[in-house]
Structure 1
C-alpha cells in the first residue's frame, strides 16, 4: 500500500454571493494519507458500521472492508444491470444496522428491454444482502444520468437522487420520478409533509444529482452534474425547482433556484459529498479531486488531487475516506486501482 501526499485546505473567505467564482482559492497543507484498501471494482458508495466498511461496487457486489477485502453477493428479485453509469449504486445502512442488519439499496435493472432504477430494502443474512421489500421501482434510467445516491436524513426519512435519464424535459415534469430528489419514509410511503401531495418529489429540475449532505442545522445540500461544465452545488429546499434544462450557471428564470456554486466553463463532475466544519467536501470525477466549498463565506478549494477520479467520501472524527473510480472506463488506472484512501484531517 503506497503513501501519497495529500493537501487539506480550510479557508476563511469573503461574504457569500451565489454564483460568484472570483474568490476561488488553491492552498496546500500536508496531512498524513494512506491507501486503506486496493483492487476495488468501480466502487460507488462508502458506508460503515462498527468498524466495518461496506462499499457498493457497480458490477453488483458489496465490498466488506476491515483490514482486508472480502466481497458479499446481493440477492435481489430483479437482476442488477451494470452498463454505462448504471449498476449497483447507492447504499444506506439503517440506524439500527448492528441489530437489524437492514439497509437500503439503489440499483439499475432491465424490464422489457427498458433501463430503469429502483430502491429496495435488504437484510444482510449470512453474508448475503437479500432483498426483503421493494420500496420504489420504475425510476427512469438509461446508460447515463441515473442519479443513484441514497441517504438517511436527520429527520429519519430516506432521500434519493435520480437523473434525467437522458431526457431533459423529464426534470421539469413533477409527475415523473426522473431528474429529482425524492423523499420517502423507511417503508416506502410518501411522507405527509412532502411539498407535493401524494408525491415522492422533494425537489425537481435536476440533471444528474449524485451527492447529498446535511449541515449541523439540518439544511440539505446536493451536488449535480451539468451539461458541458456548469456543474452545481445546490442548497435544497422542499418544493424548489432547480432549473434544468431551462437554466444553468448564472442564468435566471422566475420560480427557479440558482446554485450556490457552479463550475462555469470548468468541469468538476461532482458526486458524493460530506459536511464538516462549515464546509462541504465533494468528490469530483472528471475534476479528479476532492474540493471543499465554503458555506459561511464564498470560495471553493482543491483539497486533494493526484489520485484520479473520486466517486464518494466518508468522514469520521479524524479521517476523510475517498474511493476512486479510475476503472470506470473514463479514468487512467494504475495496477492498485480502484482504491479507498484515508486522510487524517485533525
Structure 2
C-alpha cells in the first residue's frame, strides 16, 4: 500500500488539473458547482469518515464498501471498521485509480469469497486486474488473479463489477485515454467484459475466445439489469455527452466515432445523453422500473425513466455521488467529496440511507 503522503499528492494534483478536460484529461467533472447546497431530502447517515468510497455491497443488515485508497469498510451492528486488504500489487495512486469495483460471490456465506477490481503500476504504465478475495476473520486476501493487464491510464480506468442474472461476472473497462482502441476487439479497454465466476470465457460470449461482451465504450462505470433481465450501462462522455445505453451482446456503442445524437450505421447511439454540462455518471441500480444512477459532476442521484427516456434529479445536495444500491424501497448511496474534485463536508465521505417512498409522496 502506498504511504498516506502519496494520496495527499494525489488530491493536490487532481485539484490542479480541474481546469483541464477533453481527450487525455479528466472527464468534465470540474463543471460542477463549487458551492455546497442543502440536501433536497431527509436522509440517515449510516457511516461517515470514509476515504473516497467506490462500491457498495450489502449482506443482510451489513455493508461492505471499497475505498479507492485501500481497505474494505465493514459496517455491522452500527459499527464501522476498515478491514485490511492484502493485495499482491501496490495500489496505484493515479487519478481515478485504486481499489474500485467489488462484488460478493453468490455463495459468499459458504465460501467467504468476493471479486475486486484494482489498479496497480508496472513497467510501461498502470494496469487493472480482477481478482478473487477471500475473507479470513477481519481481513481480506487476494487468492487468485482471474484477469490481468487490463489497460490503465492517467484517467479512464472503468472499474465496475456486477454479477448478472445469468450468474456471470460483468466488468466495465475504460479506454485508458487511448480512444481509438475502444474499437479494437483485441484490446480489453473501452469494453464491457463477461466471464464465468471461475475466470473462464463463456461459450456464448459474442466473440470467440474473448471476454468482450460489448465495445466502443469510453469510460463506463455503472451496470444494472431491469426486471426483464436487460442490461443498462452509464458512462462518461467527452466534454459532457455522458450516456445511458441498453447493452446487447456484440454491439458497438460507437466511441470515439459517434457521441451524443450522432448516428452511423452499425453503431448504437445512447438512449439518453447529458449534452453539456456533464453528469459524470457512476454506479446504477433499478427501482420500480426506472434506472437510478450516481452523478459526480451533477452532484445528485438521477432517475432515468425507461418509458419516456427522460432523465431527472431524484435527490440533490449531498455533493458528488459515486455509487447507489436499492433494496426494496430504500436507497443507499455514497458521497465522493474527498476525491480532490469536490468540497468535503464535516465527516465526509458518508454512506446515506433514504426512504424512496417519501420521494414518491412528494411527486
Q: TM-score, normalised by structure 1?
A: 0.90
Match status 1:192 vs 2:203: yes
For residue 249 of structure 1, what is the aligned residue in structure 2?
260
> Is the 8 Å Cα contact of residues 287 and 329 (structure 2) preserved in structure 1?
no
For residue 115 of structure 1, what is the aligned residue in structure 2?
126
The CA deviation at 1:224 is: 0.4
Distance 2:152 2:51 in 1: 22
- Specify the SS of the correspondent of 1:124: strand
The CA deviation at 1:32 is: 4.2
Correspondence list, 1:245-324, <5 A:
245-324=256-335
Distance 2:153 2:137 in 1: 33
- Specify the SS of the correspondent of 1:170: helix
Match status 1:154 vs 2:165: yes
Q: Which segments of 5 or more consecutive residues in structure 1 lack a partner in the other structure?
A: 1-29
Of residues 218, 238, 243, the one that matches 1:232 is: 243
Query: C-alpha deviations, 1:269-308, integer Å up to 9, x for none?
Result: 0000001111000000001000000112232110111010
The CA deviation at 1:83 is: 1.9
> Is the 8 Å Cα contact of residues 54 and 65 (structure 2) preserved in structure 1?
yes
Of residues 318, 333, 338, the one that matches 2:349 is: 338
Distance 1:258 1:35 in 2: 38
Distance 1:112 1:301 in 2: 44
Distance 1:43 1:207 in 2: 22
Distance 2:109 2:237 in 1: 38
Distance 2:80 2:343 in 1: 23
Correspondence list, 1:1-346, <5 A:
32-66=42-76, 67-346=78-357
The CA deviation at 1:335 is: 2.0
Query: C-alpha deviations, 1:129-184, integer Å up to 9, x for none?
Result: 11111100000001210000000000000000000001101100011000000000
- Specify the SS of the correspondent of 1:171: helix
> Is the 8 Å Cα contact of residues 283 and 289 (structure 1) preserved in structure 2?
yes
Greater than 3 Å deviation, 4+ residue runs:
none
Backbone CA RMSD of aligned residues: 1.2
- Specify the SS of the correspondent of 2:129: strand
- Specify the SS of the correspondent of 1:73: strand
For this pair of structures, how many residues does the alignment match? 318
Distance 1:152 1:231 in 2: 24
Q: Which segments of 5 or more consecutive residues in structure 2 lack a partner in the other structure?
A: 1-39, 358-363
Larger relative helix fraction? 2
Distance 1:236 1:245 in 2: 17
- Specify the SS of the correspondent of 1:181: strand
